[in-house]
Structure 1
Amino acid sequence: MRTEQSPITNRPSVPLASSLDVIQPSAIREIANVAFAMDDVLALHFGESTMPTPPYIAAALIQAVADGYTFYSPNAGLLSLRTALAEQYARLHGVTLDPARELVITASGTQALNVAIRCVLNPGDEALVLSPNWPNGAAIVAMFGATPVEVPLEMTPARFAVDFAALEAAVTPRTKLLLYTSPSNPLGWVAT
């Protein structure tokens, strides 16, 4: 393998995986970088809450650090956390999950999408993506060699809605996944 010198570090550079070629720069990140360089900007670009962490969560974090929870956890996350989440999910949705086999804790939603999509799709498969949607989902699908197929949401007088005829028409033998976010990013649309 031929390597070249990096102009930044003056060390040999290694070519990146060609699967990354499908990922386009994020327009929202470009906008955010401009905003971060400005003073007195109310940052709404990521959809991140401006509310501070609730005191009971901050206190629990401090207590966990004091109790020594500062080392690697099991790959799927602490069983006590997964159990608490399964109980909460059952209360909210009436669905029983096995915390030992059906829940995994990730560091972020993006990591969770990466893992889930990687576990379901093979190169050549298709994923239906309700759009408009957060661009990272379709990029992750493409990065793993599958094809994102956009299915536009229908704009009705009252709200956005799934066009079920268009969704059904988009299904092919290669379709393995339906990707949507609820509440939707960027629309705020909620699936009901």
Structure 2
Amino acid sequence: MPRNKEFDYDEKLVTARNLFWKKGYNATTMNDLVDTLAINRSSLYLAYGNKHELFLKSLANYIQQKDNQYSEAAKKSKKPLEAIRHIILSVTASAIQDTSCLFTNSVFEMATTDTQVSGMLRKQTIKAIDLFEQLLNQAKEDGSLKSSKEPRALAHFLVSGLVSIYNTQILFADSGLTKQTAEILISSINS
């Protein structure tokens, strides 16, 4: 008779995700994972695979969380430019609360050396760009976007700007400055 898992798979996945988020992929050892998840090594391997597979699952979990965050923020307004503003302010609140971002950390730690991670990050970035572009096109159609900037290029800029929000908070730990950075990003849409 097969043995039942003695732990909650999703709960432990979030715990692993948070450890990778805090320490980074390279600084996190299998011993760290075993100790932090409080499960034995064989159970960890059976449930999640090796460290790299667990990281990919953790990153996918984080990306899903960010998808949900962007979607919920965008739904706060039927006006497309307000929806973009809500997304940017949601990211700002996360940066201030969490100080860092597993996605951003992974870009700088692994995107140039790990094709699987790079592929996941690129796919998610394109998804965010598509969301911003769709909202910008709607704003152009309803006349609220006055800028002559190409919506796709502006969408790329806005998504890149989200990284600058985290960068500001990480380096300066100044929520006022981080909020100003976000407001400048928002104001750039129609400038």
Give the TM-score of the pair, scaled to structure 2.
0.23
Q: RCO higher in 1 or 2 (8 Å CA, sep ≥ 6)? A: 2
Larger Rg: 1
Give the TM-score of the pair, scaled to structure 1.
0.23
Higher helix share: 2
Higher strand share: 1
